[in-house]
Amino acid sequence: MGGENLTGIMEFILLGFSEVPNLQGLLFGIFVIIYVSILIGNGLIIVVTKSDRALQTPMYFFLGNFSFLEICYTSVTLPRMLADLWLQRRNIFLSTCAIQLGFFLIFGCTECFLLAVMAYDHYVAICRPLYYPLTMNYKMCIQLVIGSWISAIPLQAGLTYDIFSFPFCDSNKLNHVCCDAPPLVKLTCGDNLFNEFLIYANAVLFGMVPFLLILVSYIKIITTILKLPSATGRSKAFSTCSSHLIVVCLFFGSAIITYLLPTSKESGGTDKVLSLFYTTVTPLFNPLIYSLRNKDVIVAMKKLLPKHFGPLWA
């Protein structure tokens, strides 16, 4: 066992962006704007998909749930990050770190599953349109959403327990913006191969498997679209899927690099930047992508905003 055993430590020090002390105020302002934008943008998507009758379809039902998940996922990390930047107090109790990691992993895996469910919805709608009303009925949609939310809880809670049952050595300084699994494992004692194996196995099961299902779904979707005789039909089908594909690429691209590619103890800076993509960039761009590239959402927003806010602007 290398280094000093620090199993008795009561807290970690989240280094975050401490290497740029002169930019703390600027970073705080930027992340405040990002967090407020995430709350407003995704909240607006939820309200629009629930209030407009034209959007009472499985696709927008899943989108509303996805937007709610984005708010939950971001709220696990960003408020704590903002407090660290504002107060310059970077210590986090061991129990608080474990709770943050647990919810972070659960919401992250739920996002993987929901993205796979949304891809399956597109697959049925485009490749098996005659069976769509029967397959994607209300009961099935509820079951898919509930399954996405709860299926990851037992294993992610177990993984969190396993990580915090390892002894920590050398330092309690966590070179990251939040309590994430890879940087925590780097602080554990001795040979980290078993510890890292748990992270890789978890990433493959809850990350790569949904990603491969999405990939297979879109291979079949694209094959079907290319066979459509009408250019207008092909364009409409591609437009329907493009928003979801952009979100998938943003989220899975950064997460796969962080969790599946080999990292060294000195790669904390890169990990921090990549983590911002799947913790802040995807939730930030999600409402923009779906509103700017979706005519139905734009029409619903134009009807909703004047109705509720028109008197305030008059």
Q: What is the pLDDT of residue 64?
A: 92
**Helices and strands in the chain, H and E counts:** 13, 3
Q: What is the pLDDT of residue 3?
A: 47
Q: Which domains does the chain have, with CATH numbers?
A: 11-295 (1.20.1070.10)
45 vs 268: CA distance, rounded Å? 34
pTM for this one?
0.87
269 vs 259: CA distance, rounded Å? 15
85 vs 241: CA distance, rounded Å? 38
Closest to 67 measured CA to CA, from 82, 85, 47, 84 = 47
Q: Name 91's bridge partners.
A: 13
Identify the three-state secondary structure at position 123: helix
Q: What is the mean pLDDT of each run of 10 residues along the chain (314 residues)?
A: 53 83 88 94 90 86 93 93 86 90 93 93 91 93 94 90 81 84 81 76 87 93 86 76 84 79 57 78 84 75 65 42
Chain Cα centroid distance, residue 302: 28
126 vs 107: CA distance, rounded Å? 29
Contacts within 8 Å (CB) and 24+ apart, 222-228: 224/126, 224/127, 225/126
The amino acid present at 107, given as its one-letter code, is F
Tokens describing residue 147: 């399954």
Q: What is the pLDDT of residue 55?
A: 85
Q: What is the pLDDT of residue 34?
A: 93
